[in-house]
Structure 1
Amino acid sequence: MSHTPHELHDEFPHAAAQIHALKTQDKRFAALAERYHVLNREIHRIDSGIEPASEDRTEELKKERLSLLDRVQRTLAAGEMLS
């Protein structure tokens, strides 16, 4: 399979070390990052035509992904742990 776009390390290349640290040290951030990863992969499969989905479902998934991305960005900007 080709490269999956919108992975966290692609969205925040400057914060790779911070993301890794948060994922290993903060259970809630790790769960947030995992949900983002799973959701992003599902959207990629839909966009690639591998998995069928209605436009409404696809839009719903993309809105959730954006919400998760906003939460990750706020956490990185604050330099904080969620736990």
Structure 2
Amino acid sequence: MSIENHSLAAELPEFKDQIHNLKMNDNHFRNLHEKYNDVEHEIHRIEVGAENTSDDYLHERKKQRLLLKDELLAIIKKSQ
């Protein structure tokens, strides 16, 4: 199984510059981005077998990642 890169920059490459600017200038965005990265890192560790957990837990973490991504995208679009 190949593990995909779900970093925010990989997920939203068309907003790379805006993501960088918001991380530098918006504390709320920066905090959400850090949470997103933490969840993504945890999911990655589970998927590569470095951590063991239930399928339900992994599913919940993936839902959390998606919610964070949606919130971050809303901030990006509002900043345009």
TM-score of the pair, normalised by structure 2: 0.90
Ranges in structure 2 where 5+ consecutive residues have no aligned partner: none
Question: Which one-letter code corresponds to 1:73 in the other structure?
Answer: L
Asked whether 1:77 is paired with 2:77, we answer yes
How many aligned residue pairs are there? 78
Does the residue aligned with 1:46 lie in a helix, a strand or coil? helix
Tell me the TM-score normalised to structure 1 length: 0.87
**Residues 7, 37 of structure 1: 8 Å contact kept:** yes
Q: CA deviation at 1:20?
A: 0.6
Aligned equivalents of 2:59, 2:12: Cα separation in 1: 23
How far 1:75 sits from its partner (Å)? 1.1
8 Å Cα contact 1:4/1:41 also seen in 2:
no
**Superposition deviation, residue 4 in structure 1:** 6.1
Give the ranges of 4+ consecutive aligned residues of structure 1 lying more than 4 Å apart after TM superposition.
none
- In the TM superposition, residue 77 of structure 1 has moved relative to its aligned partner by 1.4
Aligned to 2:10: 10
The one-letter amino acid of 1:78's match is K
For structure 1, list consecutive stretches of 5 or more residues without a partner in the other structure. Answer: none
The corresponding residue for 2:43 is 43
Aligned counterparts of 1:4 and 1:32: Cα–Cα separation in 2: 21
- 2:33 corresponds to 1:33: yes
Q: Tell whether the 8 Å contact from 1:9 to 1:15 is kept in structure 2 after alignment.
A: yes
The share of aligned pairs that are identical, in percent, is: 38
Q: C-alpha root-mean-square deviation of aligned residues, in Å?
A: 1.5
